[in-house]
Structure 1
Amino acid sequence: MERVNFNDRVAVVTGAGQGIGRMYALALARRGARVVVNDLGVTRDGSGADTSAADKVVEEIISAGGKAVANYDSVATMSGGENIVKTAMDSYGKLDILINNAGILRDKSFLKMTEEEWDLVMNVHLKGAFCVTQPAVKIMKANNYGRVVFTASISGLYGNFGQTNYGAAKLGLVGIMNSLKLEVAKYDIKVNTVAPNAWSRMTADVFPPEFEEKMNPQFNEPMVLYLCSEENKVSGNIFATGAGWYGRTAIVSGDGVCLGDAKRSISVEEIRDNFHGISNMDNKREHDSGLGMFEYMGPLLS
């Protein structure tokens, strides 16, 4: 079996000082990539800073014969994102791969959540992905090649108690992907999203103790590495992973019901009486862009 390799590729992994991010950085380096290990070294809730987290991963990579440099910038500002990308350019002269993995948690039930807890999570996960991806994609576009992976969560895709801030930020990343994939398609830049599940400091109080061995972070690694590889040709997809299971998930729509046209208004009672058909998902479909929704409205627009 031919080995997937990243020889002559340069990768940036944000939040790579611990957990899943560390796994990605080590695996990419083992397969030939030169890696920028970004980590501010904050605690799970985003407080503090410790550069040793990124330094230790870099040391691991170098001691194993690989190539890596550390970066300690925050992803949550454009200057930080630009500096992360600049580290790759200054050290290795290019950038081929970006894994947006940095994240924090400020879990709280919706009615008890503060504005600060909302903003901190949105800034790191959603704004942070924008701040790093924009300068990275500029480089990739110039080189006519790139692979970008966003890290979403099943909390964003399907919900989780006490994580409205986290879930909103994570589903927002899917929104970035859906539009970005269209803007960069002609430059051989593939943009995908993963929703990984693993035992880590982020989930230690979410999963039961018996899951620690079964939810090894390594199980998420091969899916992400494949999406970062030259062999991968898909873009705009979401993949959920965990415990050795891998599956694609998607936002879909049903056929719906055409109730009228421009010549008359629609009443609330018509919605009520047709609600079963409107809600029916028997013939669900995906769409490559928002324009796909107009397929359903065709008879009313012609």
Structure 2
Amino acid sequence: MLRFDGRVALVTGAGRGLGRAYAKYLASRGAQVVVNDLGGSAVGVGADSAPAQDVVKEIEAEGGHAVANFDNVAEAPEAIVRTAIDEFGRLDIVVNNAGINRSENFGKNSLEIIKQHMSVHFFGAAGVTAAAWDHLVASGVGRVINACSPTLVGFENQTPYVSAKGAIFAFTRTLAMEALKVGIRVNAIAPTAATRMSDEMDAPEEFKQFMRDNYPQSLVAPVVAYLAHEDCAITGETILAQGGEVQRLSLSETTGMLDKDLTPEAVAENIETILDPGTSTPIGLVGAEGTKDALSMP
């Protein structure tokens, strides 16, 4: 049984939804947990200490150990990490789950919305990870799990959200290379689950109920727990977790074409070959020691 006795986990955005599920699952397996949540709305407005406090109470009622933190990941990452050190004396696991989602058509006012999403999703994750880095190194079994998304393939009216998740995908793969040298594993989770965001989206009630019936949060948390455990040897991966399905989300390249006298006309003539998905192969990580597939790390 993969347990976390003696380990300390920090989960951002843990007052509701998937973050709450991650925090409670890790605590149920013995981890001491920092439950971070600003308590704002799904679109990033307001603040409320109750959600994080409620999750701490739930964990403690089940015999676990947890402490609440209400800082904004985009503004006070050091304070969030300091809560873990002050309360538990160490930090072994960071789950960068905090996020917002404001669905809107792209237009002249989109830049500010994109900046807001990047501030929370990307800079929030990068900031908390940076603040936690030395403690994760000291742990000897440091683990970072970032929140990516299946919408990475593209999703209408979601340019700010998906763009921020694209940054998380690249951040995860690149940081994993450096992290290997200091004993840290960095991966991402791309979940599909019924959450506050899916409940509040502009969609038919039948779809929302379908999400609740088929994509429970309880079928994502075990994957995060695996990625957080010291027995997890993979790094740089993004793992899809959708209603019990667990899959790899990866970059790939096709066989394509080769022409040393390349012209636009040659590209046009061979575009179907260039895009042929039947010739796709995954792209492995490239590190100081050469190309390595993340699933075959030493």
Distance 1:211 1:266, change over 3 A: closer
| Residue 139 (structure 1) aligned with residue 157 (structure 2) | no
Tell me if the contact between 1:239 and 1:249 (Cα under 8 Å) persists in the aligned partners.
yes
Larger Rg computed on CA atoms = 1
Are the structure 2 counterparts of residues 291 and 252 from structure 1 closer, same or farther at C-alpha, using a change threshold of 3 Å?
farther
Gaps of 5+ in 1: 296-302
Matched, 1:231 2:226: no
> Matched residues in 2 for 1:164 and 1:233: separation?
33
Range with bigger deviation, 242-251 or 222-231 = 242-251
Give CA-to-partner distance per residue, 1:265-295, whole Å, 9 cap, x none.
Answer: 6321222233233223433222333589x99
Alignment size in residue pairs: 285
Distance change >3 Å, CA 154–CA 87, structure 1 → 2: same
Quote the Cα distance in structure 1 between the aligned partners of 2:67 and 2:211: 33
Q: Give the CA deviation at 1:4.
A: 1.2
The answer (yes or no) to whether the contact 1:255–1:281 under 8 Å persists in 2 is no
Q: TM-score, normalized by length of structure 1?
A: 0.89
Letter in 2 for 1:59: K
* Cα distance in 1 for residues equivalent to 2:280 and 2:216: 34
Cα deviation per residue 1:53-76 (whole Å; 9 max; x = unaligned)?
111111111122111111111011
User: Is 2:93 the partner of 1:97?
Assistant: yes
Check conservation: 1:257, 1:278, Cα contact below 8 A.
yes
Q: Which amino acid aligns with 1:17?
A: G
Alignment of 1:194-233 (within 5 A): 194-204=189-199, 205=201, 206=203, 207-233=207-233
Alpha-carbon distance change, 6 to 92 in structure 1, aligned in 2, over 3 angstroms = same
Counterpart residue type for residue 68 of structure 2? A
Q: Distance in 2 between matches of 1:173 and 1:151?
A: 7
Q: Among 268, 276, 290, which residue is 1:280 paired with?
A: 276
Alignment partner, residue 17 of structure 1 = 15
C-alpha offsets along residues 108-146 of structure 1, whole Å, 9 cap, x if unaligned?
012375332222111111111111111112221233321
Unaligned runs of 5+ in 2: 292-298
* Shift, 1:16, TM fit: 0.2
Asked whether 1:167 is paired with 2:162, we answer yes
> Which TM-score applies when normalising by structure 2?
0.90
Counterpart CA distance in 2 for 1:8 and 1:290 is: 33
Percent identity of paired positions between Structure 1 and Structure 2: 37
Structure-2 residue corresponding to 1:298: none
Partner of residue 130, structure 1: 126
User: 1:113 and 1:134, CA in 2 relative to 1: closer, same or farther beyond 3 A?
Assistant: same
Name the structure 1 match of 2:295: none
Partner of 1:180: 175
Q: Deviation at 1:92?
A: 1.1
For 1:233-252, list aligned pairs within 5 A: 233-252=233-252
Cα deviations across residues 187-228 of structure 1 (Å, max 9, x unaligned)? 221111111111111111354323322221111111111111
| 1:95–1:139 CA contact under 8 A, matched in 2 | yes
CA RMSD of superposed structures (Å): 1.9
CA distance in 2, matches of 1:291, 1:274: 32
Secondary structure, aligned partner of 1:178: helix
Residue 49 (structure 2) aligns with:
51
Quote the offset at 1:86 in angstroms: 0.8
